A = this chain, B = another copy of it.
């Protein structure tokens, strides 16, 4: 598979993970916390969803590389991985105002 397609699939995966209001809310909550992260139980309270539902969404975000999980005893500490989103922002530059109409010529 071409490199451009690999990259595109990766970006699509990240965007799909971001494409759900509840997951964005979880991320916003995480960065708002004093230490920049939180436990699953905190998110369950804040999001008002079943614990299994919250874990499911967290898994999607982790698999997309957007969140990182760290085990602390049997608590799971989650936080946003800023670099992943920085990568996405860079990719989106391709479509940006700065980009000439054929900037992606080499990427097709």
Contacts and interface: CB of A to CB of B under 8 A. Distances in A.
A96 B82 contact: yes
Chain A: interface size category: 35 or more
* Stoichiometry, copies per complex: 2
Query: SS class of chain A's interface: helix, strand, loop or mixed?
Result: helix
The 7 closest A-B pairs by CB, nearest first: A16-B19, A36-B101, A15-B18, A15-B19, A12-B21, A19-B19, A82-B97
Given A19-B18, A96-B89, A28 B12 contact: no
Nearest to A101: B36
Contact of A19 (B17, B27, B85, B95): B17
A23 to B, nearest CB: 8
A31 B85 contact: no
